[in-house]
Structure 1
Amino acid sequence: MTTLTERYVWAAARSVPESQREELSRDLAERIADTIDARIESGASDPESAERDALVELGHPATLAASYSDRPPMLIGPRYYFVWRRLLIFLESFIPATAAAASALGLVIAGGGWEVVGQAIGIGVTVAVHLAFWLTLVFALIERAGSGQWPGTGAAADGRGSAEADPLAWTPEQLPQLPESRRPHRRADLIATLVWLCIAAGLLLWQQFGVVWEDGERSAVPLLSPELWAFWIPYLYVLIALEAGFAVWIFRNDWSPASAVVNVVLNAAFAVPLIWLFVEGRLFSDEFLAVVSPHLDADAVRALSVLFVALVVGACLWDAIDGIVKAAKGGGRGTLSFPGNRSTRP
């Protein structure tokens, strides 16, 4: 089998129960090989084109796997079911959490207390329900208004005509990479994450012994309020430990929609308390503020405050979106047919 066929067989086999995977993999590999041989012998295609055409003819691997396992996708109809499911998982993995975090931040800035947690969770659940309902409704309308074949089945002769006719059509370029092909990239992510977490843990302790320099000498002025050691700094150390464990888990299991949600939660668990403490004036120590305040006017304080909040939110949002994109690309590259997912790198 070539790499492209291996990717197709692997993508199909992972969609069925483990007890059926070996049989499906064997039967599917033989079916693809027979189809390729038939195309080559008839002179219709060269080996590379014959393989691609054979996979296009088979259609989306998850759709094919559903027919093998007798689990027909009937929620909104078979034509768009798998596209609907992938898009729903993709959107639900970050939009409700982002809405909840944004509402919590607004309520905290408005002077709310711990009750904002319950309100933010309620908003997140409401957004999740509405998102699922309206997305399903849209796909149901598309299903009933559309015509023709399932996305990625049937075919133009070169496999491109159907994709042009139907933007939701499946093509072999969207096949996920094999797990062993992605491991080197995950190893680099793991090392970088653990190094940065160790640096963060060290800085969190080091700042307590003074970060202010005056006349070339360091003063014993802590950056963060010593009162935070009663709960919030240990809380941050717990988050660092959870992040380290999560990074190891990602290395061993790769990204998935569930891990992307966990990543969003971890980022929110860091950003929301940090911004709340800052807005309440409890984040930085009085000694540190006494040293820097004489050098700043009101406009500078306001600008730095906005910059601090923007940096915290931006960094956490970037990391959350990065995890979502990696999950959307199947832990490596190329399983979804929407935003940013057309890479065909090996």
Structure 2
Amino acid sequence: MTELTDRYLFAATRSLPAAQREELSRDLAERIADTIDARIEAGASTPDTAERDALVELGHPAALAATYSDRPLMLIGPRYYLIWKRLLVFLESFVPVTVAAVAAFGMVIGGAGWEVIGQAVGIAITVAVQLAFWVTLVFAFIERYGASTGTDVDEALSWTPDQLPQLPEVRRPHRRADLIAALVWLAIAAGFVVWQQFGAVWIDGERTDVPLLDPALWSFWLPYLLVLLALEAAFAVWIYRSDWNWANAAVNVVLNAAFAIPAVWLFVEGRLLSPEFVELVQPHLDADAQWVLSVIFVAAVVGVCAWDCIDGIIKAAKGGGRGTLDFPGNRSVRSQSQV
């Protein structure tokens, strides 16, 4: 088998449970080999093009996997299921959030208080449900009453073997970019902690000497934060060298908790921001605005840290990075080491 066939097997089996993945990979590999031989013997393809032609003949790997795994694509119908799924995921990824953000902005301008958060969440959920319903209804109507044009899934999605995903590798190129981005971000964060101490507030276009964070925190908490950022940098390098596993995911949870818990506690206690900064901004904010900003800050800290923890756990569960799947022909170093 060549890399093109390996990529097809990976695309067809990556969403299946491990128990089904190996069997389906083996069956598909045999079917692809038989199709290649049959096309060459019949003169339908040359030896150079037989593999690509065989994959085109088999069709979209997701649709083929559904027929093998007793999971028929029948919510809408096999003809339009993948098109419906792609469109729905695309729309749901940004439409509800965008509508909720615009609505929340309008309510804040209109003088709404902290209740804007609950209303925005309700709007986002309502839009998401309505979007799913109407998109599904339109596709169901097309499926049942639309004229048959003979267009199949591959034609509608313009699928070709060139769109097959690359095989997962233990040393994937994106991991170096992830490492560089993490180190740059941590360096910026550490630089900001020091820089803000010399003034982070502008009045009438001129920078003042008012710090953002309380200078009293330099007695312990700000040095603690700088040490924590250094540990995060070392952890990012470690992940680059060793990849994700359950131990690393646990360390990631500890590091996030070590940041989130003190940050939220100091903020709630009123010890995080400098008194000078609070004195400057407080006259411009009423009680409701202060409450909304407080909730947003706490939710942002907890949400970002929780997301990072979940992301690490998911990567560990998948075997590292974006996940390394075992299937016949997988050329990844990890797969070969397990043979």
Q: TM-score range by the shorter chain?
A: 0.5 to 0.7
SS of the residue corresponding to residue 170 of structure 1 reads coil
Task: Report the Cα offset of residue 33 of structure 1.
Answer: 1.3
Relative to structure 1, the CA distance from residue 113 to residue 219 in structure 2 (aligned partners, 3 Å threshold; closer, same or farther) is closer
The farther-off stretch of 79-88 and 102-111 is 102-111
| Cross-structure match for 1:151 | 153
| Cross-structure match for 2:80 | 80
Q: Deviations over 1:143-182 (max 9, x none)?
A: 2314226312xxxxxxxxxx3xxx3343222222222298
SS of the residue corresponding to residue 74 of structure 1 reads coil
SS of the residue corresponding to residue 71 of structure 1 reads coil
Q: Which whole-Å CA distance do the structure 2 matches of 1:91 and 1:48 have between them?
A: 40
Q: Which whole-Å CA distance do the structure 2 matches of 1:194 and 1:106 have between them?
A: 38
Q: Deviations over 1:215-246 (max 9, x none)?
A: xxx9871354759x9xxx99xx8xx99x9999
Relative to structure 1, the CA distance from residue 177 to residue 75 in structure 2 (aligned partners, 3 Å threshold; closer, same or farther) is same
| Cross-structure match for 1:14 | 14
User: Pairwise CA RMSD of aligned residues?
Assistant: 4.0
Task: Report the Cα offset of residue 201 of structure 1.
Answer: 4.2
Contact 1:221–1:288 at 8 Å: present in 2 too?
A: no
1:221 paired to 2:221: no
| Cross-structure match for 1:319 | none
Q: Which whole-Å CA distance do the structure 1 matches of 2:214 and 2:164 have between them?
A: 52
Which letter maps to 2:153? Answer: P
Q: Which whole-Å CA distance do the structure 1 matches of 2:28 and 2:183 have between them?
A: 41
Q: Which whole-Å CA distance do the structure 2 matches of 1:225 and 1:34 have between them?
A: 68
Contact 2:84–2:136 at 8 Å: present in 1 too?
A: yes
1:198 paired to 2:168: no
Contact 2:199–2:208 at 8 Å: present in 1 too?
A: yes
SS of the residue corresponding to residue 66 of structure 1 reads helix
| Cross-structure match for 2:51 | 51
Unpaired runs of at least 5, structure 1: 153-162, 254-281, 290-330, 332-346
Q: Which whole-Å CA distance do the structure 2 matches of 1:133 and 1:181 have between them?
A: 41
Contact 2:80–2:143 at 8 Å: present in 1 too?
A: yes
Relative to structure 1, the CA distance from residue 202 to residue 111 in structure 2 (aligned partners, 3 Å threshold; closer, same or farther) is farther
| Cross-structure match for 1:186 | 175
Q: Which whole-Å CA distance do the structure 2 matches of 1:206 and 1:135 have between them?
A: 50
Task: Report the Cα offset of residue 26 of structure 1.
Answer: 1.0
Q: Deviations over 1:34-91 (max 9, x none)?
A: 2112222333222342212211111111111111111212111111112212322232
The partner residue of 1:170 within 159, 177, 186 is 159
Q: Which whole-Å CA distance do the structure 2 matches of 1:70 and 1:80 have between them?
A: 18
Q: Superposition pairs for residues 66-105 of structure 1, below 5 Å?
A: 66-105=66-105
SS of the residue corresponding to residue 79 of structure 1 reads coil
Q: Which whole-Å CA distance do the structure 1 matches of 2:80 and 2:244 have between them?
A: 32
Task: Report the Cα offset of residue 203 of structure 1.
Answer: 0.5
Contact 1:15–1:65 at 8 Å: present in 2 too?
A: no
| Cross-structure match for 2:125 | 125
Task: Report the Cα offset of residue 114 of structure 1.
Answer: 1.2
Q: Deviations over 1:301-343 (max 9, x none)?
A: xxxxxxxxxxxxxxxxxxxxxxxxxxxxxx7xxxxxxxxxxxx
Unpaired runs of at least 5, structure 2: 246-273, 282-321, 323-339
SS of the residue corresponding to residue 169 of structure 2 reads helix
Contact 2:79–2:153 at 8 Å: present in 1 too?
A: yes
Contact 1:7–1:178 at 8 Å: present in 2 too?
A: yes
| Cross-structure match for 2:139 | 139
Task: Report the Cα offset of residue 93 of structure 1.
Answer: 2.2
Contact 1:16–1:66 at 8 Å: present in 2 too?
A: no
Relative to structure 1, the CA distance from residue 127 to residue 13 in structure 2 (aligned partners, 3 Å threshold; closer, same or farther) is same
Task: Report the Cα offset of residue 94 of structure 1.
Answer: 2.4
Q: Which whole-Å CA distance do the structure 2 matches of 1:28 and 1:182 have between them?
A: 27
Contact 1:7–1:175 at 8 Å: present in 2 too?
A: yes
Q: Which whole-Å CA distance do the structure 1 matches of 2:34 and 2:90 have between them?
A: 36
Contact 1:222–1:287 at 8 Å: present in 2 too?
A: no
Q: Which whole-Å CA distance do the structure 2 matches of 1:182 and 1:137 have between them?
A: 44
Relative to structure 1, the CA distance from residue 211 to residue 73 in structure 2 (aligned partners, 3 Å threshold; closer, same or farther) is closer
The farther-off stretch of 134-143 and 53-62 is 134-143
Q: Which whole-Å CA distance do the structure 1 matches of 2:168 and 2:54 have between them?
A: 23
Identity percentage over the alignment? 66
| Cross-structure match for 2:106 | 106
TM (normalized to structure 1)? 0.57
TM (normalized to structure 2)? 0.58
Q: Superposition pairs for residues 314-325 of structure 1, below 5 Å?
A: none
SS of the residue corresponding to residue 180 of structure 1 reads coil
| Cross-structure match for 1:28 | 28
Q: Which whole-Å CA distance do the structure 2 matches of 1:190 and 1:57 have between them?
A: 40
Q: Superposition pairs for residues 255-270 of structure 1, below 5 Å?
A: none
Which letter maps to 1:61? Answer: P
Contact 1:76–1:143 at 8 Å: present in 2 too?
A: yes
